[in-house]
Amino acid sequence: MSRILSRRGFQDMVFGIVILLMLSALVMHTEQSVSAAREGVSLCINVILPSLFPFFVVSTLAVELGLIERAGKLIERFMYPLFHVNGSCAGAFLLGIIGGYPVGARTAISLYRKGQCSRDEAERMLSFCNNSGPAFILGVVGAGIFASSWAGLWLYAAHIIASVMVGLLFRSYHFHGKTARQSAPVLTAGPDFPSAFIDSVKSSFSSTLNICGFVIIFTVLIRMLYLTGTIRWIASFVSVLPPRFGFSRELIESLIAGLIEMTSGVWSLRDVAASMSDKMCMAAFILGWAGISVHCQVLSFIGGTGLNTRTYFYGKLLHGFLSSVLIFLFSRLFSWNTPVSAYLASQVRSIAHLTFPQAFLTAAGASLCLFFFLLLAAKNRKKNYSISGKTNV
């Protein structure tokens, strides 16, 4: 059976049938497909573009100018013992936590392309550095979907803790004690600022457009799967198999949508008739897994690098499972509906209702602050290095 599945002719036949079915669905539901594409475009303009593009520019600029490499020296003492990666990789992890999908993965791949980390280190980083950002989890998921600041905070806490746990579990992947470097590589002269800035804007805009393309096509795909009843049929079949777990058909529908596209899956949890704990666990898994749409975005960056994607997919699957387990444990200890404070709740809700100019200015401001922090850290490191060099002489 495995030989038949691995044959190129059989695979081409399966893909051909799938493409014909998709074309038939698009022809039969033209108006709905156009509406779904319009929703995808709106999502890109109002969410993807203002939130990701500034972070893409700053992260690319920081890598090109060597700021990530220098700032990594300040915290490499933690990166190597925990994850068996050199200090330069710290920037990818930090940007992944702050910038959201897929900034961390893109930064790790950029570091590998520039020779600032080894292949094994890059594959190790891909397993846990690609995380959802705080603005999405706190604002959209916490306040917008669950109407609870506590829910957003604990979802984000579980998301980051699970990410660190995945990094710890993958720390021994292809590690032999000799290939990993305990200190960051020697600093080299990078391009001047104008050239690096222009190249960063060009490559970042191209990457953002690629992401928007994936978001739009997967938004249409999910709509077609709903209209043809495919998702409902799969959910009805799966909901009968494990009744002891208590997952309703609506929850499984949200899970299937989230496995394909994260935002659509999490957003569909609003109207699901289930307990807060069950919906939170499902949201945690979807956020950790990230969805096929995000995976395609990451794969578009990996193409041509020769990096093995096995650690990435295993890491994201494990990330979703661990996040869900942590939320289950948190639900036994905390109440999701109690606000942290009136001030925090108002701030989180304001994030969820930002307009395009407001969201763009907020993301750009945060990106600039992060850039100047890295620049300051690099200058301080260079100054300390010069002083120590004179002292040694």
For 90-146, the pLDDT digits (tens) are 878 888 887 778 888 888 898 898 888 888 999 999 999 999 888 778 877 887 778
User: For residues 256 and 268, what is the distance between their CA atoms, to the nearest angstrom?
Assistant: 11
What pLDDT sits at residue 343?
38
What pLDDT sits at residue 288?
95
Q: What value does the CA radius of gyration of the chain take, rounded to a whole number of Å?
A: 22
CB 367, CB 98: distance < 8 Å: no
385 contacts: CB under 8 Å, gap ≥ 6: none
Band of residue 324 on the pLDDT scale cut at 50, 70, 90: very high
Band of residue 272 on the pLDDT scale cut at 50, 70, 90: confident
What are the residue ranges spanned by the domains of the chain?
28-379
| CA neighbor of 155 nearest in space, from 278, 351, 327 | 327
User: For residues 292 and 91, what is the distance between their CA atoms, to the nearest angstrom?
Assistant: 25
What pLDDT sits at residue 368?
67
pLDDT digits over 110-122, tens only? 889 888 888 899 9
CB 178, CB 146: distance < 8 Å: no
pTM strictly above 0.75: no
User: For residues 373 and 343, what is the distance between their CA atoms, to the nearest angstrom?
Assistant: 27
Q: What is the largest CA-CA distance in the chain?
A: 78
Band of residue 342 on the pLDDT scale cut at 50, 70, 90: very low
CA 35, distance to chain mean position in Å, is: 26
Amino acid at 292: I
